[in-house]
Amino acid sequence: MLSQEEKAEIDKELSHVPTKQAACLGALKIVQAHRDGWVTDEGLLDVAEYLDMSPDELDSVATFYNLIFRRPVGRHKIFICDSVSCWITGYKEILEHLHKQLGIRPGETTPDNKFTLLPIPCLGICDHAPAFIIDETTYVDLTPDKVEDILKEYD
Amino acid sequence: MTDTGMETPLTKNIRDDRTPMTIDEYERAGGYQAVRKALSDMSPKDVQSLVKEANLKGRGGAGFNTGMKWGFVPMGDDAPQPKYLVANADEMEPGTFKDRLLMEGDPHSLIEGMICAAYAIGASVSYIFIRWAYHLSAGRLRKAIAEAYEKGYLGKNILGSGFNLDMYVHVSAGRYMCGEETGLLNAMEGKRATPRAKPPFPQASGLWGKPTIVQNVETLCNVQHIINNGADWFRGLSKTDDGGTKIYGVSGRVNRPGAWELPMGTTAREIIEEHAGGMKDGYRFRGMLPGGASTDFMIDEHLDVPMDYGEIMKIGSRLGTGTIIILDDRTCPVGMLENLEHFFAQESCGWCTPCRDGLPWTEKLLHAIEEGEGEPADLDRLEAHCTWLGPGNTFCALAPGAVEPLQSGLKYFRDDFERHIKDKKCPWR
Amino acid sequence: MPYVYIDGKKFEVADGQNMLQVALSLGFDLPYFCWHPAFGSVGACRQCAVMQYKDENDEKGKLAMACMVPATEGTRISIKARQAEEFRKSVIEWLMVNHPHDCPVCDEGGECHLQDMTVMTGHTYREFRFKKRTHRNQDLGPFINHEMNRCIACYRCVRFYHDFAGGDDLQAFAAHDHVYFGRYEDGPLESEFSGNLVEVCPTGVFTDKTLKQHYARKWDLQTAPSVCHQCSLGCNIIPGSRYDKVVRVLNRYNREVNGYFMCDRGRFGYEFVNSPDRITNALSRTDRSSDFEQVDDNAALDAARKSLGEAKGIAGIGSPRASLEANFALRELVGQDNFYSGDSERQKTLTDEVLTVLRNGPARSASLHDVEQADVVLILGEDLTNTAPMLDLAVRQAGMTKPAHNAKKIGVDHWHDAAVRELMQGERGPCFVATPTRTKLDKFSTRALRASAEDITRIGFAIAATLDDKAPAVAGLSDETLAFVEAAAEALREADRPVVISGTSLGSRHLIHAAANTAFALCKEGNAAELAFVLPETNSLGVSFLDAPSVDEAFEKITRGDIDTLVILENDLYRRIDRATVDSALNRCKRIIALDHIMTDTTGQADVVIPVAAFTEGDGTLVNNEGRAQRFYQVLSPGKAPEESWRRLLALAGANRRNGTTLDDICSQLFDTFPAFGDRLRIAPGARFRLVHQRIPRASHRYSGRTAMTAHINVHEPQPKTDPDSPLAFSMEGYHGKPPSSLIPFFWAPGWNSVQATAKYQAEVGGPLRGGDPGLRLIEPRPDAARSYFQPEPKTDSSGNKPSIVPMYHIYGSEELSSRAAALATRMPEPYIAIPSADRESHEVSEGDMLSLTIGNREFQAKAVVRDDLPTGTIGIPIGLGPFVGIDPNASVEIARGVTS
Ligand SMILES: Cc1cc2nc3c(=O)[nH]c(=O)nc-3n(C[C@H](O)[C@H](O)[C@H](O)COP(=O)(O)O)c2cc1C
Ligand code: SF4
Ligand code: FES
């Protein structure tokens, strides 16, 4: 069941568009934000019902996009840019460093469920590469030292 | 912004720290004058013709004349309603960060441009389709839109003109294909962002089957200046035939990566050396992608070509988004191409065969070569992919874009490829 | 009609087509995947690439997808251009990147479009040396096997299942080269049309699970043109057999009837022919309390003959599920005066009424294709999805008629599938549905109304009266009903090609009148309106043509003692008339001779049971709901199964018969006796028909099984049986050109081994078969007939407090024979008694209670289900499920209180 809060947020999305389906990605993001950062089957069914879509139709859309998570994720998502400018300026090093610090590889979640590491295409911060976004905070001009400090913020 | 002494209509309001102007500040700086002017003194067709005359070319990559594109929208009383305007703020082209600059630094400028454009095509609903990563821009836009509603620039009967326009921010769920204008329409409709066939063009059948214009953020930010200052002024900003200024950017191993508004047709040499501060110590320039990941490499000999739509085309590349990615001598071109093709293969929507299955193959070949497992015939196979994934052969422009850096890379860095294959390893490792 | 150029040659082509259609129609071999003649172009697979040139001076040209190039005046393409050929080869190579090398074990092998296209493009050498991606397969239920690794992502499956057939549980998931086609979670595909995926998928992703159990090489199947026996629509099919067993059913294209598709009941219902309940031996017993003994066929015939000879009075009871020939042969055996149609009086009245309306009225009976073309649809009282599934599919296509017309206005051709759908945004042509319970078409319709049978009748009359003030009016409609009536009338009035659909499922004669009035009212001033009626069985209408009295009349005579011997033809009387009545009639008979292919309650009451052919084992003619006479032919070789009923009956008649015993013999007698059937040779050629002195083979040239079949016993090749009844041969030898459309045993053309070869049998892709589609329409309207309207019945007094029955139908379960098919039976619901939620309290019933119920004077027990869509004052009875057979929808029904558990 969608919570009142979720419903209110989805209704707002609905007010911007002429069809229910048009709000489906917004709705999935809302449910994801309210429920541990990913869309469970239950969440999917709730949204599907609310928007008059079949679960299959909704999941077809959900699984297409990068930012709808249909599998469990950690409390914080590290979106590390793996595109060309970051790659040139040291993405691999940052990735290695994250691995050293957190013990996880791309796509994995730390055992304490704190971080999930998600390589993602270009974040549009190429003038300050390499970069990553943790949740909604952007970190730029990364160096291994800097990464260490940043991760401490999440202790 | 650094004062270059040149006219910089797009960025003049942008502060160094990019904190945006409030609507009052923006108005004081001359903002929303174009809206007033258009709504009171000009017919929609007037705005269309003016923009067409200014030769404002789409800044999203394809470089099509914007006014001409608007001309295909059905106008008049029996035109289908509502019509839509969408600002394409997806900016997922690797190496591109110019629209972010505009939206973060001067959100009202995009809004004003959109109001003018919407008026020109008779759109009553508009969306800013923005990529998820631009949290800051989205927030600033939302705030600015609220301000504009409050001041009566948006909503019903704008400035008493009888013209109505709503504007919403739509945050993408993430996919490069969302930036392709018809994929964007599907994404907005809550569908898979696969592209649509053209014709029918979005101008005739777009969002929810209604006439729709999709326009890049930077393109839209120019409109009010054209209305305020005229077509001649706009064309005069440029060093070449393509009108206006352009936001150029540089990323890679340069001293000052960044973005600058410069006259259209500025050379890459000037951009890299003067504005980006030249190559970092210990790095030499080997080549560059002039306008994002999906453009052909340019090398030394091209550095003095004016960076505009027409001129770059002549040397076999494209201006694209105008944001340069630099390949230096300590970076392996094969590795770089592997990274690029990985991106394109991952971001293929999976609709058409050549792209869906051809790009992963290309990526695998590049990976093999980079890992020292390449075979001489692999280069022929790569060449063949470049041919078969070319424009018109695939459903949309993703795959043709994907093979642009590859085909030029094979041309300019062939020795590097051959060395990988002969030595069975990457020389940069 | 524009001129186009293909490889320098000039062709005149039909308007509004694309170049792929045009090229295929002209006989060019141009490969394709995502395009389908029924659902148009999307340009995704890029397989149909050609070079396109601006004009005669353009030498460079550009690659273009033929399926996306409109065939307008002066369009120039080259199929042969090297660049196009090379590109097409590359496309296959890409598709094969992830395709497994499992052709030897693949269920699609031998009729795989991907295989054909691979060969056609000349891609033979693989250069891809990396790992293939793999997928997990899903359990999609008893009908369809899923093997995702074989997917080439042509998107046809979703386009058929979701876009075309309206199913919402099959989708494309994920992106790039991970795209996955399946369900959100494992489970049976819910669409009634899922079986078409087998033919729609160009490779072996979706294959027939029932076939898989008897895996056979496709080229080793013996096939014949046949007609589905599982509802009144008569879809054309191709059953395939191997080792004397029917192992699958494929669609057989007939544009006027089922086109490219069929429903799952039809496709998977065939398995009843392999049921353990099949009667394979003649049975006999001396008295009914003892068990049957298996007897020699001749002994059984002798016993039957003897009984007939000793009979005081004989009745031959025919059957609407048997062929015209079988019914006629029985009539011949027992004499015209002793022949009964096999329908109950109740059903016969309804069917006869339908026949009268279609014969004497101005409205034409609609074929399925006509329904697809309709621009406005009104459905009165039929749950089409469950009573005539392919009509549901046709109505869904009719929904596109208007939108496609609108798209054309902005220059988007109807074949430009995605563009039409994007433009129309789910908008559909008007469709009005009035039924007692929820139907799957409700969601699709413009307006759906829940009403009792009686109210639906009144709606029909009211719509007619709104359209034409000469039509009798009805008063006292509720506001909701009035709104429905007005909206429907308005849409129908505007329509160019309206169709009214109704039927006999609700058991109301007045409903037929109501539908007729509506259509008649629409026919005024030269406008054409069409009528489609759903009937219960495959030959319901055909039997009605025979103009024989009902079973009830035979029973009356039994009661009067005029009849003591029955010959019952392929008919389970218990499914028509209530048990007590049948029991008492049968008990009074001295001798009962039953001919059937499967044990039923009726054969269980017989003294002599004579096994006969099921539809795959014999020949015959059926008349579908449109009034189209269609021939079906034997698939299995003679001697492998019992003979046709008609042959058995002719044998029974024995010495009395002067005429021959072939299909042609019985047919010519039948057609002479009943001129309404027209010219038998227009239904299908006679047995003597030859092409270049040759028969038409039931197996293709590729058939490898004949010589090897008995090699472990005998190295001599068995002599193929000859077919005395048709020009078809039980072998691979014979004429290998294109046979007349009614005799097409398989679609196969050089280079085209899959069902896509159908195009080679059509004059124009997606058009009629060459020489006209099979079947002969027996009914044509009388456009100038004076329109005499039917009068509505007076509103019955519903103040009495007995509930009325709402008959509820199930695609899987309501039909007799398919319910005996193994896979299909697993999809049948449990028997239930449906209670309107509004009446739950007054009945003191909750969901799941065991309920006891009397209908007429028989008691039934089943679990209660509470439904919010049932009109109050009714009880829903699932027709055909478990004990619920022989139900008269007009009978009184009563819940025995206090039976809960
Ligand atoms: C794969 C792909 C991605 C694209 N991404 C973007 C984008 O992120 N932003 C953008 O403005 N245009 C993008 N485009 C171009 C758009 O399709 C379209 O041409 C543009 O938004 C039109 O606006 P303009 O005429 O103002 O340039 C992309 C094109 C392709 C083929
Ligand atoms: S499953 Fe079959 S029909 Fe569907 S896309 Fe894949 S290959 Fe095509
Ligand atoms: S999905 Fe567009 S080119 Fe492949």
CB contact under 8 A, A65 and B193: yes
Q: Is A124 on the interface with B (CB under 8 A)?
A: yes
Distance from the CA of B350 to the center of ligand 3, in angstroms? 7
Residue type, C473: A
* Distance from C-alpha of C38 to C-alpha of C164, rounded to nearest angstrom: 9
| Matching residue, tokens 């039924």 | C435
- End of a domain among A64, A88, A106? A64
Q: Which residues from chain B sit within 8 angstroms of residue A85, using beta carbons? A: 94-95, 251-252, 325
Distance from the CA of B220 to the center of ligand 1, in angstroms? 13
Contacts of B360 (CB under 8 A, 6+ apart): B345, C97, C176, C177
Name every protein residue with a CB atom under 6 angstroms from any ligand 2 atom: C 151-157, 181, 200-203, 205
CB contact under 8 A, B353 and C95: yes
Whether residues A15 and A49 fall in one domain: yes
Mean pLDDT of C616-625: 98
* Distance from C-alpha of C252 to C-alpha of C262, rounded to nearest angstrom: 9
| B358 neighbors C45 (Cβ within 8 angstroms) | no
What pLDDT shows up at residue A20? Answer: 98
Whether residues A95 and A58 fall in one domain: no
A42 part of a folded domain: yes
What pLDDT shows up at residue C793? Answer: 84
Whether residues A51 and A117 fall in one domain: no
A139 part of a folded domain: yes
pLDDT at C799 over 80: no
| C598 neighbors C572 (Cβ within 8 angstroms) | no
Which runs of consecutive H residues, i.e. helices, occur in B42-97?
44-53, 66-70
Confidence of residue B1 (pLDDT cuts 50, 70, 90): very low
| C649 neighbors C330 (Cβ within 8 angstroms) | yes
C-alpha dist (Å) from residue C833 to A123, C184, C729, C876: 60, 31, 50, 6
Neighbours of chain C (3+ CB pairs under 8 A): A, B
Which residues of B, range 202-231, sit inside 8 Å of C by Cβ?
A: 204-205, 208-209
Q: Which H or E run contains C365?
A: strand C364-365
CB contact under 8 A, C425 and A19: yes
Q: Which of C152, C156, C157 is nearest to C115 (CA)?
A: C152
* Distance from C-alpha of C65 to C-alpha of C82, rounded to nearest angstrom: 15
| Number of other residues whose CB lies within 10 A of the CB of residue C850 | 12
Q: Distance from CA of residue C198 to its chain's centroid?
A: 16
3-state helix, strand, coil in chain C (%, to 5): 35, 20, 50
Which residues of C, range 147-206, sit inside 8 Å of A by Cβ?
A: 162, 168-175, 180, 183-185
What pLDDT shows up at residue C658? Answer: 61
Q: Is the peptide bond before B199 cis (omega within 30 degrees of 0)?
A: yes
A87 part of a folded domain: yes
C-alpha dist (Å) from residue C688 to C557, C681, C770, C872: 43, 11, 21, 60
- For residue B367, what is the nearest residue in chain C, using CA coordinates? C130
C-alpha dist (Å) from residue B200 to A2, B84, B212, C159, C638: 39, 16, 11, 20, 58
- End of a domain among A15, A41, A64? A64
Distance from the CA of B320 to the center of ligand 1, in angstroms? 9
CATH fold for domain B333-423: de novo design (two linked rop proteins) (1.20.1440)
A141 part of a folded domain: yes
What structural domains does chain C harbor?
Answer: 3-97 (3.10.20.740), 130-213 (3.30.70), 364-528 (3.40.228.10), 798-895 (2.40.40.20)
Confidence of residue C897 (pLDDT cuts 50, 70, 90): low
Nearest residue (by CA) to ligand 3, atom 2, is B396
A146 part of a folded domain: yes
Q: Testing the interface with A: which of C155, C171, C190, C442 to mutate, by most A Cβ within 10 A?
A: C171
Q: Which of C282, C256, C6, C43 is nearest to C155 (CA)?
A: C43
- For residue A64, what is the nearest residue in chain B, using CA coordinates? B192
Return mean pLDDT, chain A.
96
* Distance from C-alpha of C337 to C-alpha of B21, rounded to nearest angstrom: 100
Whether residues A53 and A88 fall in one domain: no
CB contact under 8 A, B328 and A127: no
CB contact under 8 A, C170 and A56: yes
| Matching residue, tokens 């389908």 | C36
Report how far apart the first and last C-alpha atoms of chain A are (Å, whole number).
33
Residue type, C802: K
Nearest residue (by CA) to ligand 2, atom 4, is C157
* Distance from C-alpha of B366 to C-alpha of C882, rounded to nearest angstrom: 64
What's the pLDDT tens digit per position in C431-458?
A: 999 999 999 999 999 999 999 999 999 9
To the nearest whole Å, the CA of A14 is away from the closest chain C CA by 17
Whether residues A86 and A140 fall in one domain: yes
Whether residues A56 and A103 fall in one domain: no
Q: Which of C424, C102, C100, C868 is nearest to B210 (CA)?
A: C424
Name every protein residue with a CB atom under 6 angstroms from any ligand 3 atom: B 195, 348-349, 351-352, 355, 394-396, 398-399
pLDDT at A142 over 70: yes
Whether residues A55 and A87 fall in one domain: no
Mutate to test the pocket of ligand 1, among B177, B180, B212 (most ligand atoms within 8 A of CB): B180
Q: Which residues from chain A sit within 8 angstroms of residue B95, using beta carbons? A: 83-85, 122, 126
What's the pLDDT tens digit per position in C159-209?
A: 999 999 999 999 999 999 999 999 999 999 999 999 999 999 999 999 999
Contacts of A127 (CB under 8 A, 6+ apart): B97, B249, B250, B251, B257, B258, B259
- For residue B294, what is the nearest residue in chain A, using CA coordinates? A84
Name the maximum alpha-carbon separation found in chain C.
91
| Matching residue, tokens 């988007």 | C412
Distance from the CA of B119 to the center of ligand 1, in angstroms? 22
Facing A124 at nearest CB: one of B91, B188, B252: B91
- Report the predicted TM-score, pTM, of the whole model to 2 decimal places: 0.96
Q: Testing the interface with B: which of C88, C93, C94 to mutate, by most B Cβ within 10 A?
A: C94
Q: Which of C631, C509, C588, C456 is nearest to C890 (CA)?
A: C509
CB contact under 8 A, B394 and C411: no
What pLDDT shows up at residue B62? Answer: 86
Whether residues A46 and A99 fall in one domain: no
Q: Is the peptide bond before C389 cis (omega within 30 degrees of 0)?
A: no
* Distance from C-alpha of C362 to C-alpha of B151, rounded to nearest angstrom: 66
What's the pLDDT tens digit per position in C96-116?
A: 999 998 998 999 999 999 999
Confidence of residue C660 (pLDDT cuts 50, 70, 90): confident
Return the percentage of chain B with pLDDT > 90, whole number: 98
Nearest residue (by CA) to ligand 2, atom 3, is C201
| C363 neighbors C574 (Cβ within 8 angstroms) | no
CB B307 less than 6 A from any atom of ligand 1: no
Distance from the CA of B347 to the center of ligand 3, in angstroms? 9
Whether residues A8 and A37 fall in one domain: yes
| A145 neighbors A90 (Cβ within 8 angstroms) | no
CB contact under 8 A, B253 and A64: no
Residue C572, exposed/middle/buried by CB under 10 A (0-12, 13-18, 19+)? buried
Whether residues A86 and A32 fall in one domain: no
The pairing of beta strand C171-173 with beta strand C144-146: unpaired
B23-236 is classed CATH 3.40.50.11540: yes
A71 part of a folded domain: no
* Distance from C-alpha of C152 to C-alpha of C95, rounded to nearest angstrom: 6
DSSP-based three-state secondary structure for C897: coil
* Distance from C-alpha of C481 to C-alpha of C728, rounded to nearest angstrom: 55
| B219 neighbors B242 (Cβ within 8 angstroms) | no
Where residue A89 sits, what CATH number does that domain have?
A: 3.40.30.10
- End of a domain among A64, A97, A113? A64
CB contact under 8 A, C173 and A57: no
**For chain C, how many residues are written?**
901
Q: Which residues from chain B sit within 8 angstroms of residue C412, using beta carbons? A: 199-200, 205
Which pair of structure tokens corresponds to residue C224? 């014949």
What pLDDT shows up at residue C124? Answer: 87
A70 part of a folded domain: no
Facing A122 at nearest CB: one of B92, B193, B349: B92
Q: Which H or E run contains C250?
A: strand C245-251
pLDDT at C710 over 90: no
CATH fold for domain B245-328: Ubiquitin-like (UB roll) (3.10.20)
What's the pLDDT tens digit per position in B173-182?
A: 999 999 999 9
Nearest residue (by CA) to ligand 2, atom 2, is C201
C-alpha dist (Å) from residue C790 to A24, C275, C365, C469, C793: 51, 45, 18, 13, 9
CB contact under 8 A, B257 and A65: no
pLDDT at B374 over 60: yes
What pLDDT shows up at residue C800? Answer: 63
pLDDT at B77 over 50: yes
pLDDT at B2 over 50: no
What's the pLDDT tens digit per position in B81-121?
A: 999 999 999 999 999 999 999 999 999 999 999 999 999 99
DSSP-based three-state secondary structure for C12: strand
DSSP-based three-state secondary structure for B46: helix
Q: How many CA atoms within 13 Å lie on the side-chain side of B336?
A: 33
Whether residues A45 and A82 fall in one domain: no
Mutate to test the pocket of ligand 3, among B175, B294, B341, B352 (most ligand atoms within 8 A of CB): B352
pLDDT at C141 over 50: yes
What pLDDT shows up at residue C716? Answer: 79
B359 Cα nearest atom in ligand 3: 4
Interface ipTM: 0.96
Whether residues A89 and A57 fall in one domain: no
Distance from the CA of C29 to the center of ligand 2, in angstroms? 21
Facing A55 at nearest CB: one of C162, C184, C426: C184
Q: Is A22 on the interface with B (CB under 8 A)?
A: yes
Q: How many CA atoms within 13 Å lie on the side-chain side of C115?
A: 19
* Distance from C-alpha of C819 to C-alpha of C806, rounded to nearest angstrom: 21
CB B61 less than 6 A from any atom of ligand 1: yes
3-state helix, strand, coil in chain A (%, to 5): 45, 10, 40
Distance from the CA of B293 to the center of ligand 2, in angstroms? 32
CB contact under 8 A, B360 and C177: yes
How do the domains of chain B map onto residue ranges? 23-236, 245-328, 333-423
Identify the domain containing residue A57 by its residue range: 4-64
CB contact under 8 A, B352 and C95: no
Q: Which of A76, A77, A94 is nearest to A85 (CA)?
A: A94
Domains contained in chain A, number: 2
